[in-house]
Amino acid sequence: MSQSDIILASGSESRRNLLLSAGVEAVCVKPNVDEEAAKATFRAEGMRVADQAMRLAELKAVKVSRSREGLVIGGDQMLNLEGEAMDKPVDMADAANHLRRFSGKAHTLETAIVVAEGGQPVWRHLAKPKLTVRPLSDAFISSYLEQSGEDVLKTVGAYQLERLGAQLFSRIEGDYFSILGLPLLPLLDYLRTRGFLEA
């Protein structure tokens, strides 16, 4: 087995770059899963936020692994604010509303990863980093969004921790990689047990 057999079922540059920085070269294949329809179904069923993230990660991994040989990694991240799943902001005004809702509160990033092989899930992991947002003034929110630009619309929390988003928080519990969207350390450990990486 070699790294050429590792496939990332995602178009996420962030996840691909995290793997690459850790020495794992994965082929990226977009899973073409209708995430909005899936989330609507999950929410209509009253599914917990963490379970929604895990199911979406599994859908992506399994779909790609049905047509590609190798180990397929699917991931998903959902923001859990007091039991409610928050989606990516649709525009800058929505991003400002998100930040006002987060202000002074803690939220959890339900960060799920599933590895599939031959159309079946073979490994899964859920990380739950908890981030506490400091009280934010409207002036700060406006300035932050102006400086950050529309990149914030690509992220579920309207922030990128590795950039200006660091200024939003008073406390962070959990590992950095999971906050960025990939529980990297457990995944690397699994890849070692499977012989894809040296032990």
Is there a contact between 77 and 111 (Cβ–Cβ < 8 Å)? yes
Cα–Cα distance between 187 and 50 in angstroms, integer?
18
Report residue 72 as tokens. Answer: 């397929």
From the candidates 5, 34, 51, 76, give the one annotated as an active-site residue: 76
Is there a contact between 14 and 181 (Cβ–Cβ < 8 Å)? yes
Report residue 87 as tokens. Answer: 């989606």
Left, alpha or beta for 62 (phi > 0: left; psi -120 to 50: alpha)? alpha
Amino acid occupying residue 136: L
Question: CA 51: distance to chain centroid?
Answer: 13
Cα–Cα distance between 117 and 13 in angstroms, integer?
22
Q: Is 76 marked active-site? A: yes
Which amino acids are annotated catalytic? Answer: 76
